[in-house]
Amino acid sequence: MNPAAHAFIRGLHNLRPWHRGCVATIGSFDGVHLGHQAILRQLMDVSRHYNLPAVVIVFEPQPHEFFSGDKAPARLMRLREKVQALLAAGVARVLCVQFNEALRKLTAEAFIETVLLDGLDIKHLVVGDDFRFGCDRRGDFALLQKIGAERGFGVTDTCTLEINGERVSSTRIRHLLEMGDFAQAETLLGKPYSISGRIAYGQQLGRKLGVPTANVHLRRYRSPLHGVFTVSARFVDGSVHQGVANVGVRPTVTGDKKPLLEVHLFDFSRKVYGAMIDVVFHTKLRDEKKFNSLDELQTQLQADIAQGQAFFRRDTAPMN
């Protein structure tokens, strides 16, 4: 295998000599929205100018998650989805640096030395002029330019993308999703909002209630979505199926802390445990709620299904 091929590098300890010599950017890239895509195009231009690989540096957990835990803002996508989107955008490598106590304690100068120079030997860095780093928060754009001039790497500011007079940001997209404005979220993301994952074997409760579901564990404290939605689900074979989905903690059944995505597909009977699924969200039907009994839950699920089927019938009805 060509060591220069597209790759995901987890941790500084997995950097190898052939990873040195690159251009890079740093950020959370949560959602890989149109603003992020503009930065990536800028990075790719620099990559072509220097004829060097383009590298995106991300952190896991994200810094605000490290400091805030389960009070941190919901993620728009999981790490796997983010890496896939970044590599699909054309970058050569994604370096995921573990954000832990050791990294938190690094000064700005030590971060530059350890990660950017010793680790990657960067030749150019694309980063926002409001970027702050280091345990003392002394690291900023001016410091990067100063050390870059001394150590032989360039630094340029990232471009800012605005739509309708507002900056495109992950925070803005989270708000739109919370409001159920999937059309505007799609405008900022550049594609419909979706959640991808592997279907897991569940408790089979949905099947017992006559509403079998494909379950995807989101493995995060919070989700940007909560409630019941109309969805379309795409499998790796390219087939697309309509249905309804619940995103939440299932208060009637277990009251889990971490959210679960449960998808019921209309007129679908295939066994798909272990398969990858990409679930696209269209409209919100209702909030998640706790029912007094499983009979009440079953009645509501049937109403959700009927409402979802009606949505898709309207959506595909011919125009007069």
Tens of pLDDT, residues 146-194: 999 999 999 999 988 899 889 999 999 999 999 999 999 999 999 999 9
Bigger pLDDT: 75 or 202? 75
Position 122 scores a pLDDT of 98
pLDDT for residue 254? 61
Residue 224 contacts residue 209 (beta carbons within 8 Å): no
Average predicted confidence (pLDDT) for the chain: 90
CB of 115 closer than 8 Å to CB of 104: no
- Under the banding of pLDDT at 50, 70 and 90, the label for residue 309 is very high
- pLDDT of 208 strictly over 90: no
Q: Where in the chain is the domain with CATH 3.40.50.620?
A: 7-163
% of the chain with per-residue pLDDT over 70: 91
CATH topology classification for 7-163: Rossmann fold (3.40.50)
Q: Return the minimum-mean-pLDDT range out of 2-6, 129-133, 301-305.
A: 2-6
- Residues spanned by CATH 2.40.30.30 within the chain? 193-316
Res. 295 pLDDT band, cuts 50 70 90: confident
259, 247 contact by CB (below 8 A): yes
pLDDT at 3: 41
Q: What pLDDT is attached to residue 209?
A: 62
Length of the chain: 320
How is residue 206 written in tokens? 């949905």
The whole-number pLDDT of residue 206 equals 58
- CATH class held by domain 193-316: mainly beta
Q: Cα separation of 97 and 95, whole Å?
A: 6
pLDDT at 5: 45
Single pTM value for the model: 0.88
For the chain, what percent of residues have pLDDT higher than 90? Answer: 70
Check residue 201 and give its pLDDT.
78
Q: What is the pLDDT at residue 315? A: 67
Q: What angle do the packed helices 170-178 and 182-189 form, to 10 degrees?
A: 160
Pairwise CA distance, residues 47 & 23, whole Å: 6
Assess whether pLDDT exceeds 50 at residue 82.
yes
> What does the pLDDT read at residue 204?
60
pLDDT tens digits along 271-284:
888 999 999 999 99
The pLDDT of 24-45, averaged and rounded, is: 96
Mean pLDDT of 284-292: 90
Give the separation between CA 266 and CA 269, rounded to whole angstroms. Answer: 9
